[in-house]
Each structure stands twice: as C-alpha cells, then as structure tokens.
Amino acid sequence: MSESGVVSRLEIRPMSERPKSVGRPWGLPADFLFHKMAVFAAFLVAGVLFATVIAIAFDSRLSIHAFGIWKFLKSSEWNPVTQTFGAFPFIVGTLVSSTIAMVLGVPISFGVAVFIAEIAPAWIKKPVAGAIELLAAIPSIVYGLWGLLIFAPVFAKTEPWINDKLGAIPGIGLLFQGPPMGIGMLTAGIVLAIMVLPYISSIMRDVFLIVPSSLRESAYAIGATTWEVAWNIILPYTRSAVIGGIFLGLGRALGETMAVTFVIGNSNVLSSSLLMPGVTIPSVLANEFTEATTKLYVSSLIYLGLILIAVTLIVRFLAVLLIRRLGRREGAKA
C-alpha cells in the first residue's frame, strides 16, 4: 500500500482504536489529574494573595478610618505620642532608594550579561555566572552588616569629593550636598543595587544566550562591533524578557527590609540631598513594629504594609502593560 494510503487509514481510525499515549502509564486519567492539580495550584496562589490583602486591609481599618487615604498618603507627620501618622516620607524613601538601585544596577547587569554571553571565553563563563548568582544566596542581613561596618566608613571618605564635584553642578547639585556620614539614601540605593544585580543579570544572561546564533553571525559578518550586536540585535530580540527581569529586580528593591534598615539612617525628615538619612516603608516596619503600644499605632504600621503591597502591584501592572505594548508595537512592525 502507498504511503498516502497508510496516512489516510491512520487519519480516519476511531479514537478507541488509536494507541495509548507513550510514556504515560496512567493514560488520560493522569492528564486529567495533572490538569486539575495545576489549576488548583494557580488558584491557590491567587487565593493566598487575595486573602493576605484582605487580612492586612482589615487590620489597618482603624488607621484608614482615622486618617483616610489621601490624608495618610500626603501627611509627613509621624508622631506616636500624639497618635498622628502619615506615610509620605516612607513612600518617598522607598521610591527614591529603589530608583537609585535601578539606575545603578540595570546598566551593570546589562554589562555583566553581555560579558558572559558575548565576550567571556568559555572557561570563565560558568565561574563568573556562578559568582554573580551566589550574590542572591547571601542573606539580606549580611548585606546590611557589610554596608554598615565596611562600606559606609569607606563611602564616608568619598562623600567630601562628591560634595565638591557633584554638589557644585547647577540643578542636580542639591542631591549631593550633605555631611559625610557614610549612611543615607544614596548608601541604601547602592547596597540595593548590589542586591538586585544577580536577579537582573541572570535573567538577561539567560535570554541573551537563547538569541539565534544566525542573527549574531549575520551582524558580525557585516562588520558590527560587539556593542552594536548587543544593543541593536540582542537587546531588541529579548526586550520583553529584559523588562520583566528589571521589574523583578525593582520588586526586590521595593520590599527589602534589613539591609536598608542598617544603612539608610532611619530619619523621618525629608531632605533634598541623597547623602542625608532617610527611611522606607520596610525599614520603619522593622524598626517600630515591636514598639507599637496602641491599636492605632499598630494599625498605621499595617496600613503602611498595605500601601507597600499596592505599590508593588502597581509596578507589576505597569510591567505587564509595558510588555504588552512593546509586543503590539513589534507585531505592527512585522
């Protein structure tokens, strides 16, 4: 019989006569069970997140009732004695320290990923990648101790130079003026940049390595440099995954507690200088939760946690929105 005849007979064979799936001894029941378990796991995670938000919102109801939303967000006063609480300094500190971490961490992560994927010889790629990933395994409290005992004293010696050089620049000079204390918003941002480096660089490296070699070779064949290949070929091809990795690192920076608490200075007073002490939502929770003696005080701290969750969800939503927009734009170009 011809090959086409065999194909025709296989195509019209009834379902009951077709062979069982290969490699799955339980057949279709196993598929059904796996499908239900996967659906259950997905809804379980979503349910836990929803229950967590509801529980935190319920525990912060006293503060919400006393101060509302807008008043709590815009107020800078945090006084447990008078039972007056506002979240504005903590929100600003969280966003500023995370922004510093991203400004410093993303370019370094990109350079590390390009080095491993494009430049490094084969014998050094795995050791460098392993060393970078090892940074993610270091506990955050160790980063805090290192920042306080080792980095802060060294950084305090460089702050006079920052005052003289960067502080003299018109406009942005206000950001780099202050006493050389070694601890402050900039110090916290640098420590956070080191902490998010392994997350962002690992994702960038992995997606850079899956870029088809034909694209690289074609670019090199027409005379492109390594930088041009990385910027014009590899990065556009992996843009969505890279953005996802950046926002993953941002989420890590927003929620960091102990390392920031050690080096940020923990001052509720807002300052235009990055060299001055500041405070973040996680750091104030770590510092004051055990000292909260009244229900309104505890409720206000929990309210800060609810705001942090909201900020994280907003960041996540913006990441998804940006990735989808880039996907539609690339589809339109195609």
Identify the pLDDT of residue 17.
52
Q: Is 259 a domain residue? A: yes
Partner residues linked to 84 by β-bridges: 79
The answer to the question of residue 15 being in a domain is: no
Give the alpha-carbon dihedral of 183, 184, 190, 194, to 10 degrees.
70
Distance CA 116, CA 200 (A): 13
- d(CA 69, CA 71) in angstroms, rounded, equals 6
Q: Give the integer Cα–Cα distance in Å for 230 and 63.
A: 50
114's CB contacts (< 8 A; 6+ apart) are 208, 226, 230, 234
* Cβ atoms 272, 172 nearer than 8 A: no
Work out the percent of the chain whose per-residue pLDDT is above 70: 89
User: Per the domain annotation, does 316 fall within a domain?
Assistant: no
Which of the residue ranges 104-113, 140-149, 190-199, 240-249 would you say has the lowest mean pLDDT? 240-249
Give the single-character DSSP code of 278: B
- Is the predicted pLDDT of residue 64 greater than 60, yes or no? yes
Report CA-CA distances (Å) from 133 to 78, 114, 130, 205.
Answer: 39, 15, 5, 11
Q: Is residue 119 part of a domain?
A: yes
The structure's pTM equals: 0.83
- Ranking 101-110, 229-238, 278-287 by mean pLDDT, the lowest is 229-238
What pLDDT does residue 334 have?
54
From 310, 301, 251, select the one nearest 281 (Cα to Cα): 301
pLDDT reported for residue 330: 61
Q: Which residues contact 247 (CB under 8 A, 6 or more apart)?
A: 315, 316, 318, 319
Could you tell me if residue 311 is inside a domain?
no
Residue 249 lies in a domain: yes
Residue 328 domain flag? no
Determine the structural domain holding residue 223 and report its residue range. Answer: 91-296
Q: Are 97 and 280 in contact (CB under 8 A)?
A: yes
Instruction: Find how far residue 318's CA is from the centre of its chain.
Output: 13
Q: Provide the 3-class DSSP secondary structure of residue 224.
A: coil
Q: 303 pLDDT exceeds 90?
A: yes
Q: Which two tokens stand for residue 85?
A: 């609480």
Place of tokens 């899956």: 210
63 domain residue, yes or no: no
CATH number of the domain residue 122 falls in: 1.10.3720.10
Number of structural domains found in the chain: 1
**Rounded distance between C-alpha atoms, residue 201 and residue 209, angstroms:** 12
Confidence (pLDDT) at 27? 54
